Amino acid sequence: MRSRTRRLANRVLAGAEEVGAEVDLIDLADLQIAPCTACESCSLDGKCIFADDFPAAYDRMLDADGLVLASPVYIDNVSGQMKVFIDRLADAIHCQTFAGKYGCSVATTQVSGGDAVVGYLNHVLNYLGVTTVGGMSVALDENPEALDRAEPAAHDLGRQLLLAIDKQPRYPEQEAEMAENREYFAGIVQANRDWRPEEYERWVREGWIRED
Ligand SMILES: Cc1cc2nc3c(=O)[nH]c(=O)nc-3n(C[C@H](O)[C@H](O)[C@H](O)COP(=O)(O)O)c2cc1C
């Protein structure tokens, strides 16, 4: 299927690939992922009640050092497919399983909402404990050349992502926000300690929970 968003995401990946990254594209349009029903089963053992395509996508993300989120703008927001996927990441956010990775976000739109969607996707990455290195949106506006014109910036974003993975730069503002989030999530990890001791111990090892 023709997707401008996938083309833009692929250009970011190509930029990272050019400087040595191994890349892997997960296209949510190819996957069957059920919406979260707030049953809270994942907070018991990290597993969802739905046996669908989510766990395999999650494992591929866990394997990566960098994450690129990409969505078209649908009525001033991310696509429904992306939102369903993000909701299924609630346990990954609470447990901070992606912490330490770097990431960036891209969006395409006809006219409006692109920057807001990039801002939201980068916010989700920060929620996951992922440090963001930037983002970009492209307004197509019936212009067949808009994507081609965005290619250098998309390549550069991919290169910046790989550079960050390599050099591990620190972003104090993001660190402060993520530390504040972790204080809240620590309460959840502590409350689940009896049935998820390995998560609790990982948080103690990371220094995110201090044992008395
Ligand atoms: C359901 C739907 C809602 C959309 N909402 C907006 C919108 O609010 N603002 C806008 O400028 N473009 C909107 N668009 C246009 C898409 O953002 C734009 O065509 C996008 O680049 C599509 O990406 P794709 O080629 O990967 O599907 C919408 C398109 C669809 C199908």
State pLDDT tens for residues 166-197.
Answer: 999 999 999 999 999 999 999 999 999 999 99
CB of 77 closer than 6 A to ligand 1? no
Top mutation candidate among 6, 69, 73, 82 for ligand 1, by most atoms within 8 Å of CB: 73
Q: What is the pLDDT of residue 2?
A: 86
Quote the ligand 1 centre to 131 CA distance (angstroms): 27
Q: What is the pLDDT of residue 1?
A: 57
Q: Which parts of the chain have pLDDT scores under 70? A: 1, 212
Specify the CATH number of the domain 4-37+47-169: 3.40.50.360
Q: What is the pLDDT of residue 55?
A: 96
Contacts of residue 28, Cβ cutoff 8 Å, sequence gap at least 6: 57, 79, 81, 82, 85
Greatest Cα pair distance, the chain, in angstroms, is: 61
Residue 29 DSSP class: G
Q: Give strand pairing partners of 135.
A: 105
Q: What is the pLDDT of residue 102?
A: 98
Q: What is the pLDDT of residue 50?
A: 96
CB of 71 closer than 6 A to ligand 1? no
CB of 4 closer than 6 A to ligand 1? yes
Residue nearest to atom 30 of ligand 1 (CA): 74
Contacts of residue 100, Cβ cutoff 8 Å, sequence gap at least 6: 129
Quote the ligand 1 centre to 1 CA distance (angstroms): 15
CB of 76 closer than 6 A to ligand 1? yes
Q: What is the pLDDT of residue 143?
A: 86
* Terminal alpha carbon distance of the chain: 55
Four-residue CA torsion sign, 142, 117, 155, 8:
negative
CB of 5 closer than 6 A to ligand 1? yes
CB of 143 closer than 6 A to ligand 1? no
Instruction: Return the domain boundaries, the chain.
Output: 4-37+47-169, 171-212
